[in-house]
Amino acid sequence: MTISPSLTLTPTTPRITATTHTSHTSHTSHPTYLKLNPISRPSPLRAFLPLTSRAPTRRCPSTPACLFTGIVEEMGTVKQLGISPHGGVDLKIAASTVLDGVNLGDSIAVNGTCLTVTEFDTKVADFTVGLSPETLRKTSLSELEPGSAVNLERAVTPASRMGGHFVQGHVDGTGEIVSKVPEGDSLWVKVKADKGLLKYIVPKGFIAVDGTSLTVVDVFDHEECFNFMLVAYTQQKVVIPLKNVGEKVNLEVDILGKYVERLLASGFASSFADK
């Protein structure tokens, strides 16, 4: 197999190196030969992997693959929200914790919305994300203004602890806060949701509200509402208590419910009954 001389191979285990013989007087080159470590044999599947001249990026910025836990790392502050020079909508946020080790193309959940870092400045402690038209339609981010507080969480890594539940950062829709009632040092919050989302919300089940992993206490079908309780510590760490009755929150229901519905609709269960 002939390999372009402009490409190089990064040594891995098993060790593979490339040797290219290129003429200094012309643009022609001889084929590149692979040298294999005789101690181990490479998988034949490696022949189907693309060879590149640089290390692969961590993810494609346009289609970020990410997962979160719903455990908010910090509250950031909106610095700017508006039209960018390239015609899109940019959101600039002041932060500190989530900037630790940040790279362009990284995913950060902003009020539960998985967004891609397009710019960052660790000296002034801020980062910028782009907002697509669909994101603006599906979420409450368009209601933000300079000074607004937002929940922030970086995507998990293989070494991260799963303290909440599986949160994709794919907001299903928005809900409206209809009541906030203190009880001791805790806070009851009731949210009205669309019927299409309420069917996935169950008592004692998971839900992400503005990216915060919470446990549903009760579901009130006749009111199209559900409620949850925030303990004193959580109230200090997330933006929900800062919002007023009538304001919107981003909602992401537990993905497992949607998978089950999809399987049942496809006749998956009946296929077993027929056997």
pLDDT at position 270 is 66
- More confident site: 148 or 41: 148
Whole-number mean pLDDT of the chain?
A: 80
The pLDDT confidence band at residue 3, using thresholds 50, 70 and 90, is very low
| Lookup: tokens for 184 | 């001791």
- The pLDDT tens digits for 198-247 are 999 999 999 999 999 999 999 999 999 999 999 999 999 999 999 999 99
pLDDT at position 51 is 38
pLDDT at 273 over 90: no
| Lookup: tokens for 112 | 């539960």
How many H helices and E strands in the chain?
A: 5, 15
pLDDT at 190 over 70: yes
DSSP helix/strand/coil, 44? helix
Distance CA 91, CA 51 (A): 36
Distance CA 53, CA 182 (A): 59
Candidates 99, 214, 234, 73; CA nearest to 153 is 73
Distance CA 103, CA 154 (A): 11
Contacts of 188 (CB under 8 A, 6+ apart): 179, 180, 181, 182, 227, 228, 229
pLDDT at position 178 is 98
What residues does 165 pair with on adjacent strands? none
Contacts of 225 (CB under 8 A, 6+ apart): 178, 190, 191, 192, 193, 219
Go through the domains of the chain in sequence order and give each one's CATH number.
1-45 (no CATH), 74-154 (2.40.30.20), 173-261 (2.40.30.20)
- The pLDDT tens digits for 130-183 are 999 999 999 999 999 999 999 999 998 776 666 667 888 899 999 999 999 999
Neighbours of 268 (CB within 10 A): 11
Contact yes or no for 104/117 (Cβ under 8 A): yes
- More confident site: 98 or 260: 98
Contact yes or no for 216/201 (Cβ under 8 A): yes
Whether the ω angle into residue 61 lies within 30 degrees of 0, i.e. cis, is: no
Instruction: Enter the DSSP assignment of 249.
Output: E
pLDDT at position 269 is 62
Instruction: Enter the DSSP assignment of 257.
Output: H
Distance CA 188, CA 158 (A): 34
pLDDT at position 65 is 57
- Whole-number CA gyration radius for the chain: 25
Percent of the chain past pLDDT 70, that is, above it, reads 71
